[in-house]
Structure 1
Amino acid sequence: MIPVEKTINSLDWMTIVLFVGLLILALGKYLYHSKFFNFVILPFNDKYVLLHNKKGQLLNWFHILLTLFQLVNLSLFVFIALSIFNAMPEGNPLTVFFVLMGFLALFQLLKFAVQFLKAYAFNTQELVSGLIFSKTSYFNYGSLILCVANTILIYILKDSKTVVYTAIVLILLINGIGIVKLLKNYQKAVFPYFVYFILYLCALEIAPLVIIGSYLKD
């Protein structure tokens, strides 16, 4: 009997998504090594925000790469969470994933648009730009946890609600630290607009989390 080489092409699309996310992160580390080093210690030392928070940083390529990494992993995490809680919409899984990614990207862009419109109305563009950079930096850091959680949920502890809840708690904790440091660093600038800041948190930050949490609970 003559052995015949047989090649089976069966790459899991979630593996490819994880690989693309890690590739984006590796590219950011390779191109911006010093920024990446400051970024990975962000919750313990806000040197990254203090050094790099200046006009135009939102359009910096390192920040854009981190935001793409966050979007990829957040979309995958939401997809897996919906599957675990039996809330997955009908349709092709890959199509559902891209729809989720598009929705999350559009939601974030609309948030930025609303924030900058408010900044233009109150002539606080520089302040709001700094606040958005600080907030998204901590949210992008949370995507590192999402990446780990996605890996565990796909390859190790499939359908684990504990992993989902743990990842959400850790992300909320990291972003809570970010908000505390943000208020500390911008207390003089934010204080005159404190009421508007609280309304912003309730409307665009807390409300979506409450809605999503209620949806998963039901």
Structure 2
Amino acid sequence: MNPVYKTIESIDWITLVLFFSMVVLALGKYLFKNKFLNFMILPFNNRYVVLYNKKGRLLSWFHILLTIFQLINFSLFLFLILKVFFTLPSENNPTSFFLLIAGLLLFQIVKMLLQFAQGFVFNTQGLISELLFNKISYLNYSSLVMFISNIVLIYILKDSKIVISSAIILIISINVIGLTRLLKNHQKAIIPYFFYFILYLCALEIAPLVLVGSYLKD
């Protein structure tokens, strides 16, 4: 009888990534308890956005910590999606993950700069800042879903397409709630700049998604 060699892939680096993201989230909770409590009920109560949507909001340490948490888990979630539906190197090679997190970080920075540039050109800096804070806050909240999904996909239901599909539906639902509330709460501010708002949606929100979708399809 010939011996059968079974390759066991190491996921130690993924465990470290998840642990680091959990430390970042715990740090945000420990340092900013009231903000964290308001943030945790964001889809059910818009109190967090109403209270903290002010000057310097995008550069607050709590917002930065949550954005780091989001970038890590968003990148890992994309890594797992690509691993399940497309061809990627084995899990013990973290190169693809680090390329994803670098690309996602660069994409978000460039997109944010373009949005601020658009606000400067059309004199809508205040509106753009409110849009960004609202959008990133809901994206940060949806990263909690990504975090839980990552744990399930790695340790419980490995490479489950059902988990991925359910997570994507939840993530989209959370961000749709955010967009709906934004339009409802700021309709008076948006109506005078309705043309610029449509331009903003088409150029900086919808167009990147279409380009990424077309790239993945090809």
Determine whether 1:103 maps to 2:103. Answer: yes
Q: What is the one-letter code of the residue matched to 1:168?
A: I
Identical columns (%): 61
Equivalence for 1:49: 49
Moved over 6 A (4+): 89-92
Counterpart position of 1:166: 166
Q: What is the alpha-carbon distance in structure 1 between the residues aligned to residue 63 and residue 89 of structure 2?
A: 32
State how far apart, in whole Å, the 1-side matches of 2:82 and 2:137 are.
Answer: 26
Q: Which residue of 2 aligns with 1:40?
A: 40
* Displacement of 1:193: 1.8
In the other structure, the counterpart of 1:21 is 21
Cα distance in 2 for partners of 1:118, 1:107 equals: 16
Aligned amino acid, residue 60 of structure 2: N
Distance 2:209 2:156 in 1: 27
Flag structure 2 segments of 5+ consecutive residues without an equivalent.
1-9
- Give 1:91 shift: 11
Contact map agreement 2:135 2:175 (CA 8 A) in 1: yes
User: Residues 168 and 91 from structure 1, CA distance in 2 versus in 1: closer, same or farther, beyond 3 angstroms?
Assistant: closer
Instruction: Supply the distance in 1 between the matched residues of 2:66 and 2:189 (Cα, whole angstroms).
Output: 27
Greater Cα offset, 24-33 or 128-137: 128-137
Q: Aligned runs of 1:186-201 on 2, under 5 Å?
A: 186-201=186-201
- Native 8 Å contact 1:25 1:66 kept in 2: yes
Superposition deviation, residue 192 in structure 1: 1.9
Give the AA of the match of 1:94.
Answer: P
Question: Counterparts of 2:215 and 2:31 in 1: how far apart (Å)?
Answer: 40
CA shift at 1:196, angstroms? 2.4
Amino acid at match of 2:21: G
Match of 2:6 in 1: none
> Cα 1:217–1:29, aligned 2, differ >3 Å: closer, same or farther?
same
Aligned to 1:84: 84
Give the number of aligned pairs.
209
Where in structure 2 are the equivalents of 1:109-120 lying within 5 Å? 109-120=109-120
Normalising by structure 1, report the TM-score: 0.89
| 8 Å CA contact retained: 2:122, 2:196 | no
Residues 209 and 149 of structure 1: CA distance in aligned 2, closer, same or farther (over 3 Å): farther
- CA distance in structure 2 between the partners assigned to 1:167 and 1:81 by the alignment: 11
CA distance in 1, matches of 2:158, 2:209: 23
Letter in 2 for 1:195: F
